[in-house]
A and B are shown apart, each in its own frame.
Chain A
């Protein structure tokens, strides 16, 4: 009897203690953060470092992009906009590139940005003791010197014509402050303690595994951003990221895309907009081992190309959020660089069978699988990365079609490291892989190392990008020529020709482009520039907090006024699988409730606490009840 009473006492004391401690939370919930405009972006990645010369990660890259400005900015249609440079000139005769730095541009620590900073940065890459480790783009081969002519003008002299130079110098490598970087070893500099940059946002704080906070650069030469604080929230799973977006804990997602299955779920929320990025998408392709019979036969590869129904994969695997990829590797998103006459082969099983018959690959023993003329059965493995449902599903479909033309293909899904190694050394038949493509990167980056025979090492030696081991002297010449052609019109012709050759030879077969769908919330900010990407630098600089337009409600009776809000914008609204494009139209986006209070900074709300308290009390009560139930 005695101990039962004791239990009840303890339970009571516990409840009292909890109530008291919870009531102490009171002041905490009422603390309101100062009226500060905070934009929160979520991305599923971690942070490696803020060193623009060696950093790899996408998320950290996004932040590096906010901290550091490049001389030029590549817009979503592929044109170069003078950015930190107010103007630039290219002298193709003398192989000179000149950039004139914008007046009134300052580093985050207040020192002016000068031509000598630019000179210093590029000399680090191409002409210093560190060049061997910093110059992963091989710029040393092409840049003769970098020279500051005066305070604001910097000159680059090329050794030979090099078309991608403008991209690497102008848009990829940002100038770094000489007064800081001359005192560190740039190959091991993490740059994580208060990095000094030139961009619209300054570094504030890094909370490991949680977030990076940036604050507006008051002295930004393009005007101070209207966002006071930019919080980049890091995630480890996209499930949590999407839930937080739906819950309104973050305003937009970046460095990731919305999975097709999620689109209808997100669109249920009227405040979420889904945008299809026009300047980037991911290519999915199968690479053939061109050094292995029978993939060394062009016609055999072509037969496989005819067996595959690209539209069906887009429909079945991507639920329509993608498009069949052009056979010439360069895709329509590259604008004028894309050769529209190339297109892609549509599925034609009879044609595929005819080609195989002509090659002498026929089924002699009647088991439904063809044999080569010397009797080897056409049985292959499609190597792909395990754990990626999209890849495995697509590879299954490909295998199914190959069976229909008498080729027995099965899927071999392995860990990323194994797949990479096996493809690199050529220990595979067919590899199903994917890469991201963006018009903001020079095409040379996607073509030269991918198809040049100098990159196709013999079987057994690791080949990083031309693991198809495709060698074609005719294409080699064109690949070199497009590099050294500075005239855009002439270069375009060469690149068109390259596409024709790749589409003819199909060393690797492109299958589909996965469109990049991003999402953002509309209720807190206006001015998202969708054509450039909602989280691009241009868009972020254009954002401003949404404010109620009419403020005064004087009468005692609560009046809710609604004002129709219209915006002129370029819209790509994705509706259930089909893309409806409305260009430059005045869209009535809905009504804005004027009396609406601005969103409260999130913290523990009073309702939350009440619920928490109730739950705890119920839980403890239940335990106490259980303990005292008998006798």
Chain B
């Protein structure tokens, strides 16, 4: 009973905070403390949000953003897993490759954006190639470390059980590497979204970023629309991150980090 009360109180507190922030926002803009040119009112933003959710443009923009994100992530992550695994399995290969990859990982992808715009214009192709490139480097490092990070007892057991070749790779190496790979994937998904929006905002690729820019350029009358689009982008972020957290939980259900270490309930 007490636990239930606590849960309700907690949810209530969270809702309360959100409401309090909205009320404060509304009050500040109504009294003119926040200049209405730059800060729309809370109600205004919500009205705009309602309006925008019904417009076809929003959903086209979401589709465009997601298209770039999904393609870029798919290409970048797949290549990273493939190449990372190959590199990770060979000592010489990964010792040689890691310094180069670590260097390239620190290069801000933004630096490549103007080049990408030059080569491909403000297109979906530009977006997903940029995203794939940006997502690849940190992820391939994660895959390499994952493939190499096999626990000594796990490895010894594999030798004793006479596990070799493809079977060993599938049954031992990959699951061992899975926590690293899943972490890398989760981070990659978030990075991909960030790069996506930047490519749209600056590169002019179609999507939510561009819509935000249009709304901003349309002047004070569209300020509420701009904020509405920003909120939608945030919600997309919540969706994407949530999706990958769930995925991680599912795939790594056996890993100590995911299971609540239950009291020994069997004898």
Query: Are A and B part of the same complex?
Result: no
